[in-house]
């Protein structure tokens, strides 16, 4: 589920960056909002299934902190990129990072990736 949400974030940013008008941009942002909500809903549940019972609280805290920091840090980062370049470049930066992680997750040490970027 989380990989699917990540893919939808990537798609929504690509569509937003290529949007010919405000209607398409708003639709892309609505998809992003659904995805962020999904991360909040499914992230903690996924975290507790990956660790021992003793570490569940820590896992939920780490995942929640990561989602929070990513949500909060992306706004000023996108604003900075948009200010220094164009607003479309800000939308291009996210799919580049998300695409790399979807193709080759760095957090899964037990699954080596032959296509490291």
- The whole-number average pLDDT for the span 34-60 is 87
Q: At a CB cut-off of 8 Å and minimum separation 6, what does 114 contact?
A: none
- pLDDT score for 107: 58
Whether pLDDT at 77 is above 70: yes
Burial of 47 (0-12, 13-18, 19+ CB in 10 A): buried
Q: What is the pTM of this model?
A: 0.69
How far is the C-alpha of 89 from the C-alpha of 91, rounded, in Å?
5
């Amino acid at each position: 589920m989380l990989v699917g949400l990540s893919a939808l974030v990537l798609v929504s940013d690509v569509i937003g960056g290529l949007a010919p008008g405000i209607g398409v941009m708003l639709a892309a942002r609505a998809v992003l909002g659904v995805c962020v909500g999904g991360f909040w809903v499914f992230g903690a549940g996924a975290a507790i299934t990956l660790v021992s019972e003793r570490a569940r609280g820590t896992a939920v805290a780490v995942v929640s902190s990561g989602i929070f920091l990513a949500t909060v840090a992306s706004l000023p980062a996108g604003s900075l990129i948009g200010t220094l370049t164009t607003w479309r470049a800000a939308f291009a930066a996210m799919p580049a990072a998300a695409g790399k992680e979807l193709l080759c997750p760095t957090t899964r040490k037990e699954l080596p990736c032959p296509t490291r970027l």
